[in-house]
Amino acid sequence: MKKVKPCTIKLGILISLLITGISCTRHLAKSVEDNHQGSNYYSETPYTNSSADLEKITHSVKKVNCYATYRTYVFGENSTVTLKDLSGENLLEKSMARVDNNESVSGTALAIYYDGERIALLTCAHVAVFPDTLINWSEHSDLQSNRYIHSISFKLRQQLYIRDIPAGGPIQVLASNIKDDIALLGRTLQQPATVTDVFGYPAGHSDKLEFGNFVYLVGYPVGQLMVTSGLVSLPSDPKANFLTDAPFNEGFSGGIVLAVRSDAPELELVGLGRSVSARTSYSLKPEKQIHEYTYNPSVPYSGNIYVNEEKEMNYGITFVVPVNRLRQFYNENRQLVTGQGYNLDKFFGSGE
């Protein structure tokens, strides 16, 4: 019998392994592609490099600060004052005290329109719209008939500030929907500006999202520009919020949610981060927070005590306003918005 040289055996094995390896690689690549067949958006971390696109997009994502001043009239726990009893002349006379206080909120907005004279941004309503009147009802009220007022607050003024947009007139709320938490903001510039960053990617279709689709979130949690990611849960009809497990913190409201198309691949706007699930708890606090650091707990406290409201966030349950609802909102308010000089048809695809 003719002997086979050892080197021949090794070479044959090597060739066989290389062929097998190539076959496995091709099969793996085909499997990744097969996972996205029939799906509009990726359900895994996209293997395309989105870093350059995300960095470009961050320039159109803006930090928003909103401040409001309220005048509050306090009537007390045992008040029997109703709305019918109040008028502009007797508010101070009937109240126990009058207090002016400031409220503030920070969030995120997306620049979606710019024509050299005007700029428009998209955000959540609770970031940019404070209620005109706030009423706290007395716990002694008979809710069936007598609604007794514990305190009533009236908004005196509100100011919006958005960083890194051209100077101009006051930032105005062009249209808003408190229930669905959507607002469009606009500013008329003092003089034509030549350059500003506007979101240059398509508004997608949130009704095409599926369980497990991969999304990016871009916004200003706690005032810091961040990009994070998560997976989609509970995709549903265009009017309902969908969920993602992406991290969410204060300041992220109005932050954009992006998905990657499986056929392009290309980033698309699929929603706005709205809120996170939270639990509210109450605790008793001294009159000033500074007492927490200087007061000796072994000495009985005799000062005023106030109720402090604390919210504990349930991270990983983030509510998102779907882009289909944003598009519907614009179509509902199109006449109002265009009447103020802002035509956003190109971005929203009006009439689709």
pLDDT single digits (tens) 77-103: 777 888 777 776 677 777 888 889 899
Q: What is the model's pLDDT at position 96?
A: 85
pLDDT at 20: 43
pLDDT at 8 over 50: no
| Average confidence (pLDDT) over 143-157 | 81
* Confidence check: pLDDT of 165 > 50: yes
Give the separation between CA 258 and CA 54, rounded to whole angstroms: 10
Query: Lowest mean pLDDT: which of 210-214, 329-333, 346-350?
Result: 346-350
Confidence of residue 47 (pLDDT cuts 50, 70, 90): low
Average pLDDT over residues 225-229: 94
Stretch 36-51: mean pLDDT: 74
**What are the pLDDT digits (tens) for 247-259?**
888 889 999 999 9
Quick: pLDDT tens for 228-243: 999 999 887 656 788 8
Give CA–CA dist 339/174, Å, rounded: 10
Tell me the pLDDT band of 22, cut-offs 50, 70 and 90: very low
The reported pLDDT for the residue numbered 166 is 85
Q: What are phi and psi of 32, to 5 degrees?
A: -60, -45
Mean pLDDT, rounded, for 37-43? 74
Residue with tokens 């309220």: 70
Mean pLDDT to the nearest integer, 300-305: 71
**305 pLDDT above the threshold of 80:** no
Of residues 88 and 211, the one with the higher pLDDT is 211
- What number is the average pLDDT over the span 170-193? 91
Region 289-305 average pLDDT: 64
Whole-number percent of the chain with pLDDT over 90: 44
Q: How far apart are CA 300 and CA 5, in angstroms?
A: 95
pLDDT classification of 23: cutoffs 50, 70, 90:
very low
Q: Which residue has the higher pLDDT, 348 or 293?
A: 348
CB neighbours (10 Å) of residue 314? Answer: 12
Output the average pLDDT for the chain. 80
Instruction: For residue 261, give the DSSP letter.
Output: B
- Predicted confidence at residue 63, as pLDDT, reads 96
Residue 75 CB neighbour total at 10 angstroms: 22
For residue 301, what are the CA distances in angstroms to 26, 287, 289, 311? 74, 11, 14, 25
Q: Which long-range contacts (CB under 8 A, 24 or more apart) does 166-172 make?
A: 166/119, 166/190, 166/193, 166/196, 168/119, 172/340
The answer to whether the beta carbons of residues 114 and 198 sit under 8 Å apart is yes
